Amino acid sequence: MDALDKAIVNQLQGGFPITDRPYAEVAETLGIPEAELLARLESLLSRGILSRFGPMYHAERLGGSLILTAMQVPSEDYERVAEIVNAMPEIAHNYEREHVLNMWFVVATETPEAAQAALDAIAEKTGYPVYPMPKLKEFFVGLRLEA
């Protein structure tokens, strides 16, 4: 990434206008032509530095469910369990972490019932208990990572 890519990433983490010519507005703020911004964004997306360009939803306000869940998986069985969990469309993120609870994933579904069904299915298919850790209160989401 060069300086302009970084400026674009940093600028856009602050939000995006919902107006008829949003890219033109952002380009003007950055002092570059609209066509250059579009080309740069295409490149940033294709290189995987940006994963998506659009809305971040509030799952619960859409009637959906988003549950952080932990599991304790023996290392010799980790790959099998990871494969099962990763293959499920309800799983949005899955990370291995250094702890006794060593697998942490997010179950994202359109309804709470579907989330419970996914948690039940994982416990049944893997043979290990799952520990849902639902959000009780959100104090903060979002961070600008300086590119």
Considering only residues 30 to 59 of the shown chain, the ones binding another protein according to CB under 8 A are: 34, 38, 41-42, 45, 47-59
Please, which residue, 14 or 127, has the CB nearer to another protein? 14
**DSSP assigned state of 64:** -
80 in contact with another protein (CB under 8 A): no
Burial class (CB in 10 A: 0-12, 13-18, 19+), 107: buried
By CB under 8 A, residue 3 contacts another protein: no
In the complex, what is the shortest distance from the CB of residue 22 to another protein, in angstroms, rounded to a whole number?
7
Q: Positive or negative CA dihedral for 2, 29, 25, 147?
A: positive
Query: Could you tell me the smallest distance in angstroms from the CB atom of residue 76 to another protein?
Result: 16
Q: How many CB atoms lie within 10 A of CB 114?
A: 15
Q: What's the min distance (Å) between Cβ of 34 and another protein?
A: 7
